Amino acid sequence: MASHPSRRRFLQTGASGLLTTGLASTGALGGIAASFATPCRADSAAPHATKSSLTQPAVGNVPMPKISLNTSTIRGHELPVPEQIRVTAKAGFDAIEPWIRDLRSYVDGGGKLSDLRQQLDDSGIEMAGAIGFAKWIINDPAERTAGLDEARRDMEMVRQLGGTVMAAPPIGAHTESALRDSGPIDLEVIAERYRTLLDIGDKIGVTPLLELWGFSPTLSRLGELAYVATAAAHPSAAVLPDFYHIYKGGNSMTSLAMIEASRMPLFHINDYPDQPPPATIADKDRVFPGDGVCPLVETIAMLLKHGFAGTFSLELFNPGYWKRPVADVTREGFQKSKAVIEQAVVKATADSRS
């Protein structure tokens, strides 16, 4: 196993690789910041007008981040991927974050990824990322090998659609029962496994983003996420936070200021009510941005002031929304996300001038 910094050393040095030093951060994980500024097309074809450049202009001096739809938000509508793309574009989103299982269902049914790529291009929206559940982190060697093979196939699919990043959640180490036989997985071990996943992604051109899961006994804390990304000692290491999971995992929003902004190319945006409390709140309780008690404006403004230039992807699992017409859900989701982010941009601009 490669040598990694100890937790004590990590705390003593402040995880300099992943910690922010403002707009000019050049830590070990900040050296290639530009490559993560915004998820984008994986090729270098001639530029074309995108929805973001037309509908998401800068507000003040701070650029307006792109807004994506994670298709969990409309999962209950059970739409095929082409229809997911259509409603996403019609609502005004800049990008889409589909689920791998939906993409595989489309391909298994005879669909072609090249047709989806053309639809994305014609619609003017990008692949912000994708949601897969490959067991890259699991202790069982055979299952982990199979998980890495699955992750490779997932990332190849994302690459063909023009994506450059995708989620890497701690699936397989996300419940107490999954860890009953082996016990908790040491963070250094997770870092080594994450590095292996990153090496696979580098060969494909897609970066797996270490995803925070607030309900999980593994990687539910921002400090754990930062430690693993730093200890992986890989130039492509990056993380995928989520406002709901930050709250669910008992984290503080202010801790986000300690993570170098370019290491967060994608961020799941949502909101949550004041009840149930973190211990019992669940995915189904997520609500549209601005409809809950999450300090979104203040937190996003803080991220922007630290140089965040990634994409916010709306990720909800509210069954009440699934009962409504899909066009109404996507339209309201986009408008409320945009309103919150615009307020944050205004605040970040004003704060930078004061």
Per-residue pLDDT of the chain (354 residues; tens, 9 = 90+): 444 444 434 433 334 445 543 333 433 344 333 344 444 444 433 333 334 433 455 555 789 999 999 999 999 999 999 999 999 999 999 999 999 999 999 999 999 999 999 999 999 999 999 999 999 999 999 999 999 999 999 999 999 999 999 999 998 877 676 666 677 789 999 999 999 999 999 999 999 999 999 898 889 999 999 999 999 999 999 999 999 999 999 999 999 999 999 999 999 999 999 999 999 999 999 999 999 999 999 999 999 999 999 999 999 999 999 999 999 999 999 999 999 999 999 999 999 887
pTM of the full predicted structure? 0.85
Output the CA–CA distances (angstroms, integers) from residue 277 to 67, 156, 281, 299, in the order listed: 28, 39, 6, 20
Domains and their CATH numbers in the chain? 64-353 (3.20.20.150)
Strands (E), the chain: 66-70, 95-97, 126-127, 165-168, 207-211, 239-240, 266-269, 311-314
* Six token digits for residue 39: 């998820």
H or E element that contains 136: none
Report the pLDDT value the prediction gives residue 57, as an integer from 0 to 100.
53
Report the pLDDT value the prediction gives residue 183, as an integer from 0 to 100.
72
Q: What is the CA 86 to chain-centroid distance, rounded?
A: 22
| Residue keyed to tokens 């949601």 | 131
Report the pLDDT value the prediction gives residue 172, as an integer from 0 to 100.
85
H or E element that contains 232: none
Contacts 24+ apart (CB under 8 A), 30-34: 30/260, 30/262, 30/263, 31/235, 32/235, 32/236, 33/260, 33/261, 33/262, 33/307, 34/262
Task: Name, in order, each residue with C-beta under 8 angstroms of 12's C-beta and a sequence gap of 6 or more.
Answer: none
Largest Cα separation within the chain, whole Å, is: 57
Report the pLDDT value the prediction gives residue 60, as an integer from 0 to 100.
59
